[in-house]
Amino acid sequence: MIGFCDEQGAQSMNHKHRTTLHALFAHPMSSNIDPKIVKSMLDELGAEITYTRHNRLLVTLNGFTHGFCDIHHSLPKDEVAALRKFLTDAGVDPARDYPL
């Protein structure tokens, strides 16, 4: 994980990004997540974001790569599920690494 640790050993992250990360892993699945904040959160996590043709984003984090649609409104639930799986595969655990 890239980032600085606070005095409790948790990774430092902007509060809005931390809240968005927890919303991606929330049950029931949220369908009201702003994709602009998700892109900023991924950037803060250290992800490399590349724009490809056909309105797609190619995101690489900790050696894992996945393609997502570049959406300009709230994320649909299938994209939230895909992001959740991608972040889990990349070793991101919001409860462990970025507690609220």
Surface-to-core class of residue 39, CB atoms within 10 Å of its CB (0-12 exposed, 13-18 middle, 19+ buried): middle
How many domains, in total, are found in the chain?
A: 1
Give the pTM: 0.82
The continuous run of DSSP H or E covering 57 comes out as: strand 56-61
Q: What percent of the chain has pLDDT over 90?
A: 56
Q: What is the CATH number of the domain that holds 63?
A: 3.30.160
Please give the Cα distance from 46 to 1 (Å, whole number): 8
Q: Please check whether residue 44 lies inside any domain of the structure.
A: yes
Does the pLDDT of residue 4 top 60, yes or no? no
Mean pLDDT of the chain: 85
Q: Please check whether residue 28 lies inside any domain of the structure.
A: no
Give the total residue count for the chain.
Answer: 100
